[in-house]
Chains A and B, each alone.
Chain A
């Protein structure tokens, strides 16, 4: 997407002032946003922020304490479930059924089904199509669960922490699949606590903390809006040589210097005799943004 002004598309899905109260917690405390057709909307936040509760209310599985979810402008009706696909954070499947049988079983619960071959190709299930679903690896399992979420060719796909617990390679593979789904024009709502996942997949994100949205926009716009500097990372002992000359923050065994003037900062470091052997310069990330907004680390 280039930076043209967006033509106003109607929202596929809209949440209005969603609130969910549990006996001792305000899990969701007034969340409103709209998801545009064909885009991927991400709810980014730490564990316990209220992301999963919000997405389950959007899925129509959890009744909100107050507020409303609208699908194409109308309240969620009886047939909403036939038109959306859901992948939960953790899902057990029935034991002793193969990948193929699981797809066939879930498919037959819907009036409209996507052909099996298409699902297999889209989610790359060929190599374990006839294997017992209980014997799949973590990554294979998530691919099967994605295929099950797509079995009815849904208009909206919900992904709740889809790559939590996967190894880096499996996560990357999964992102490829989701981008393939996106390329077919599907609307996606995603929750994650991985900022790289949100940055890569989402057209728009809402950063959620304590049941409220604290920032919202496209990842690039959010970063532009809050930061005009970059981050220099180097080993902590080297940074300490600055001795109060330049501001730095120690994080474990390395230190970070936030600056818009990279040349000047490097010149100062050289002047105090700091080694640049392990210097790393990186742009600001959503992780930094979360820290900036809440004073806490995203993964803490």
Chain B
């Protein structure tokens, strides 16, 4: 009798190979998987290079207990500007550098101080508004360090979002289609085990996602001169873990469903909030605490935060360790649940 581990490895390899072949030969899907993120990044770079974002976000360091209103400083009464409280000056200042927020006010010092990002047209505009608001004059402080363009900030978000769609829908729909058509039932009649089949789906999709997004990333570096301060290897590790967790989430969703409509609905329910609250396009600083907590439970948040830390701040593994661990834990939990709930055939 042959070695069971070797036999298991042979089955896993065969299933991974078969799935990858199917994906690579499906030219239209493959083309779309490459074209979509490129178009998205180019489109966003174009849209956000111009002026015209109505909403401004200003962090305020204020004395404890003070309400953030015009009583504290007339500028805080300005409409169309969101003021929110920050406690730590260095953290808030960093957000200014990254253009996650447009301005930082320090009303605990006398005289009051403010910081803006010199690269940010919104910061410049806010400065004009501040001068026109009256009240005690505030002193501008120099913002140290590199100042980041919006496109640098948004690119990790957009690539992350695209990965999320590719993982969730690419995996979810394929498994549901396999189940509906009876292909899973046929595989069930072979010695292939559920864990081997699921792992094969994960590996083939993972390899493709890493390759495709790697290519798109290079294109963004060349075309948009996107900032990259950290290590490519760290980024690869982060992306691999993040893609694994999102693929595992797709496997979990599709563990039993045999209807594309239902799967599509559930995947949308997962994907849409991720797009909004994981900070893809806009920073969620200043959002309600509960929302920020929920965001911590979603894999995309950790991918986007980790990727920004590496690309914009040159963070190393130690700094993004919490994100890496969260993603590894999510991968394990989703995969375990997905395998436990998995059904080969329609109920």
Q: B14 contacts A105, CB within 8 Å?
A: yes
With A82-B191, A111-B1 in contact, do A101 and B183 touch (Cβ < 8 Å)? no
Are B11 and A108 closer than 8 Å at their CB atoms?
A: yes
Inter-chain CA distance A106–B13, complex, in Å, is 12
Is A81 within 8 A of B21, CB to CB? no
Q: Decide: A97 near B185, CB < 8 A? Known: A81-B190, A82-B191.
A: no
| A-B CB pair tally, cutoff 8 Å | 67
A97 engages B22 (CB within 8 Å): yes
- Collect the chain A residues with CB atoms within 8 Å of residue B240's CB: none
B21's partner among A88, A101, A108, A110 (CB-CB below 8 A) is A101
Across the interface, do B22 and A96 meet the contact criterion of CB distance under 8 Å?
Answer: yes
Is A94 an interface position by the 8 A CB rule?
yes
Does B139 lie at the interface of the complex (its beta carbon under 8 Å from any beta carbon of A)? no
Interface residues of A (CB under 8 A from B): 59, 61, 79, 81-82, 86, 88, 90-97, 101, 104-106, 108-111, 148
Q: When the two chains form the complex, which single residue of B13, B17, B183, B191 contacts A93, counting CB atoms closer than 8 Å?
A: B183
A96 to B174, CA, bound (A): 13
What are 17 A-B pairs at a CB distance below 8 A? A81-B190, A86-B186, A88-B186, A88-B189, A91-B182, A91-B185, A92-B178, A92-B186, A94-B19, A95-B26, A105-B17, A109-B14, A109-B190, A111-B1, A111-B7, A111-B191, A148-B186
A92 touches B181 (CB 8 A): yes
Q: Closest CB-CB distance, B27 to chain A, in whole Å?
A: 9
What's the Cα separation between A95 and B10 when bound, in Å?
A: 21
Tell me the complex Cα distance, A61–B7, Å: 21
Smallest Cβ-Cβ distance to A96: which chain B residue: B25
Say yes or no for B2: interface residue by CB 8 A criterion: yes
Interface presence of B192 (CB below 8 A): yes
Give the complex CA separation of A105 and B21 in angstroms.
11
Asked if residues A81 and B26 are in contact (CB atoms below 8 Å), the reply is no
SS class, residues of chain B in contact with chain A: helix
Contact assessment for A81 and B191 in the assembled complex, using a CB-CB cutoff below 8 Å? yes
> Do residues A108 and B22 form an inter-chain contact, with CB atoms below 8 A?
no
**Closest-CB distance, A71 to chain B (whole angstroms):** 15
- When chains A and B are docked, how far (Å) is the Cα of A94 from the Cα of B19? 8
Contacts A105-B18, A108-B11, A111-B2; A94 near B191 (Cβ below 8 A): no
B305 at the interface (CB under 8 A from A): no
Given contacts A82-B191, A94-B18, contact A88 B185 (CB under 8 A): yes
What residues of B have a CB within 8 angstroms of the CB of A109 in the complex? 10-11, 14-15, 190-192
- Within 8 Å of chain A (Cβ to Cβ): is B296? no
Evaluate contact between A96 and B26: CB separation under 8 angstroms.
yes
Residues of chain B lying within 8 A (CB to CB) of residue A104? 14
What CA separation (Å) do A94 and B2 show in the bound complex? 27
Counting from the closest, the 5 A-B pairs by CB-CB distance are: A92-B181, A96-B25, A108-B14, A86-B189, A109-B190
Q: How far is the CA of A81 from the CA of B11 in the complex (A)?
A: 14
Residues of chain B within 8 A of A81, CB atoms compared:
189-191
- Given the known interface contacts A81-B189, A81-B190, A111-B2, the answer about A92 and B182 at a Cβ–Cβ threshold of 8 Å is yes
Does B188 lie at the interface of the complex (its beta carbon under 8 Å from any beta carbon of A)? yes
Q: How far does the Cβ of B291 sit from chain A's closest Cβ, in whole Å? A: 41
Given A61-B188, A86-B189, A104-B14, list of 4 further CB < 8 A pairs? A88-B182, A93-B186, A94-B178, A148-B186
Task: Name which residue of chain B comes closest to A145, CB basis.
Answer: B186
Task: Give Cα A109 to B13, complex, Å.
Answer: 10
Give the Cβ gap from B93 to chain A, nearest Cβ, in Å: 53
Query: What CA separation (Å) do A79 and B2 show in the bound complex?
Result: 12
Residue of A nearest to B10 (CB): A108
Q: A108 to chain B: which residues have CB within 8 Å? A: 10-11, 13-14
Asked if B189 and A61 make an inter-chain contact with CB atoms under 8 angstroms apart, the answer reads: yes
Contact of A94 among B7, B10, B22 (CB under 8 A): B22
Q: A95 — which chain B residues lie within 8 A by C-beta? A: 22, 26
B174–chain A nearest beta-carbon distance, Å: 10
Which residues of B sit under 8 angstroms from A93, Cβ to Cβ? 183, 186
Contacts of A94 in B (CB 8 A): 18-19, 22, 178, 183
State whether A110 touches B183 (Cβ < 8 A).
no
Is B190 a contact partner of A97 (Cβ separation < 8 A)?
no
- Report A-chain residues with C-beta under 8 Å of the C-beta of B2: 111
CB distance from B152 to the nearest CB of A (A): 38
User: Taking CB as reference atom, which chain A residue is nearest B184?
Assistant: A92
CA distance A140 to B178 in the complex (A): 21
Which of B2, B18, B19, B21 is the most central at the interface, judged by chain A CB atoms within 10 Å of its CB?
A: B18
CA distance A108 to B10 in the complex (A): 7
Residues of B within 8 Å of A111, CB to CB, are 1-2, 7, 191
Residue of B nearest to A151 (CB): B190
